[in-house]
């Protein structure tokens, strides 16, 4: 067991009473920040292909995607249970009845829960009520993951999120009141933010009913507005990290984060052909080793 922070895998094990593997499902959902309802350009860093690069999978029936995942993991871990992970784009954006049908179709044998990633402004009460009913009728567990990114409104505006921090607080509180464990996604190194801004975001997350967080360093990906800004040398007020300096920042975040909040990850690694910067070439476990070395060494980081 990790002595420094609560690991997400351990948290899932405690929640479900067994080992659970996430299986990503890509239903070719859209996003209001891309389809014109709020905007067309999306968040400045967003290239969804970076986190769901399997284009063949997109739009394949949910149950089929789940079965493929089970076959892959089941060979090595026959006892494994699964969490259907609706991750790409905005997975609660659409008509509630149709969305609930999608989620429901993921609940095949050995799938013990559903994890849904979304924007804080795309979770109407009607859908929350439908999810709560689905949870009860199928004796399953619904978990929600919100892209929060920062709790500073000036940053959210700058990165073109089209929602503010009060929207995130409201969504987290409404979903938590319905009994769903809440995860939040945060980005370190957003334009105009320094370490203190990141720590203030962590402090505000600590005050909310949040069960888990996922961090990653800001990545400049091809095909994004951020890539254009990078090429035009407009990212002069972005923190720039080496793996070591980022590990030291993460060590301070670990110390600051409420101890019951599980940490899913600290870094993201987009496919090499999409990534412009930073090119660390580190695997997740290599970064974790760096971070643990930092935490072992004690203050100051």
CB of 88 to ligand SF4, least distance (A): 7
CB of 161 to ligand SF4, least distance (A): 7
CA dihedral 249, 292, 258, 82 (to 10 degrees): 110
257 scored as a contact of ligand SF4 (CB under 6 A): no
**In the Cβ-directed half-sphere of 287, how many Cα atoms lie within 13 Å?**
23
Among 15, 20, 23, 46, binds ligand SF4 (CB under 6 A): 46
Pure H helices in the chain: 8-16, 62-76, 96-105, 125-137, 153-158, 165-177, 195-206, 225-231, 243-256, 284-297
Task: With contacts defined by CB under 6 A, name the span among 12-20, 42-50, 128-136, 197-205 that binds ligand SF4.
Answer: 42-50
Question: What's the burial of 79, exposed, middle or buried (CB within 10 Å: 0-12/13-18/19+)?
Answer: exposed
Subset of 73-92 contacting ligand SF4 (CB under 6 A)? 89-90
119 scored as a contact of ligand SF4 (CB under 6 A): yes
C-beta separation of 86 from 115 below 8 A: yes
147 scored as a contact of ligand SF4 (CB under 6 A): yes
Give 6 or 163: the residue with its C-beta nearer to ligand SF4.
Answer: 163
Give 122 or 253: the residue with its C-beta nearer to ligand SF4.
Answer: 122
Cα of 48 vs its chain's centroid, Å: 12
Task: With contacts defined by CB under 6 A, name the span among 43-51, 186-194, 229-237, 240-248 that binds ligand SF4.
Answer: 43-51
Question: What's the burial of 117, exposed, middle or buried (CB within 10 Å: 0-12/13-18/19+)?
Answer: buried
Among 21, 23, 26, 48, binds ligand SF4 (CB under 6 A): 48
221 scored as a contact of ligand SF4 (CB under 6 A): no
Among 15, 25, 26, 42, binds ligand SF4 (CB under 6 A): 42
Task: With contacts defined by CB under 6 A, name the span among 41-49, 62-70, 202-210, 243-251 that binds ligand SF4.
Answer: 41-49
C-beta separation of 54 from 64 below 8 A: no
Q: Which residues of 24-49 are buried (b: 16+ CB within 10 A; e: fewer)?
A: bbbbebebbbbeeebeeebbbbbbbb
What residue ranges bind ligand SF4 (CB under 6 A)?
A: 31, 33-34, 42-43, 46, 48, 89-90, 119, 147
């Amino acid at each position: 067991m990790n002595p420094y922070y609560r690991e997400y895998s351990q948290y899932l094990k405690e929640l479900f009473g067994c080992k659970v593997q996430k299986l990503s499902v890509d239903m070719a959902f859209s996003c209001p920040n891309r389809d014109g309802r709020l905007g067309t350009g999306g968040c400045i860093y967003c290239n969804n292909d970076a986190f769901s690069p399997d284009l063949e999978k997109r739009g394949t029936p949910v149950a089929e995607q789940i079965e493929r995942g089970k076959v892959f993991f089941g060979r090595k871990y026959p006892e494994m249970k699964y969490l259907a992970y609706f991750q790409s784009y905005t997975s609660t954006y659409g008509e509630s009845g149709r969305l609930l049908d999608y989620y429901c179709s993921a609940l095949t044998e050995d799938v013990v829960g559903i994890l849904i990633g979304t924007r804080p402004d795309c979770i109407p009460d009607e859908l929350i009520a439908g999810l709560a009913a689905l949870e009860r009728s199928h004796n399953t567990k619904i978990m929600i993951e919100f892209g929060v990114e920062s709790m500073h409104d000036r940053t959210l505006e700058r990165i073109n999120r089209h929602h503010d921090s009060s929207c995130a607080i409201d969504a987290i509180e409404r979903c938590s009141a319905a009994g769903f464990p809440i995860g939040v996604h945060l980005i370190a190194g957003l334009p105009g933010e320094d370490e203190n801004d990141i720590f203030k975001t962590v402090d505000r997350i600590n005050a909310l009913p949040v069960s888990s967080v996922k961090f990653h360093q800001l990545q400049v990906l091809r095909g994004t507005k951020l890539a254009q800004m990078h090429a035009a040398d407009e990212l002069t007020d972005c923190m720039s990290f080496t793996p070591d300096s980022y590990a030291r920042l993460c060590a301070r975040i670990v110390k600051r984060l409420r101890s019951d909040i599980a940490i899913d990850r600290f870094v993201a690694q987009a496919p090499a052909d999409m990534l412009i910067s930073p090119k660390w070439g580190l695997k997740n476990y290599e970064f974790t080793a760096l971070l643990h070395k930092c935490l072992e060494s004690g203050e100051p980081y």
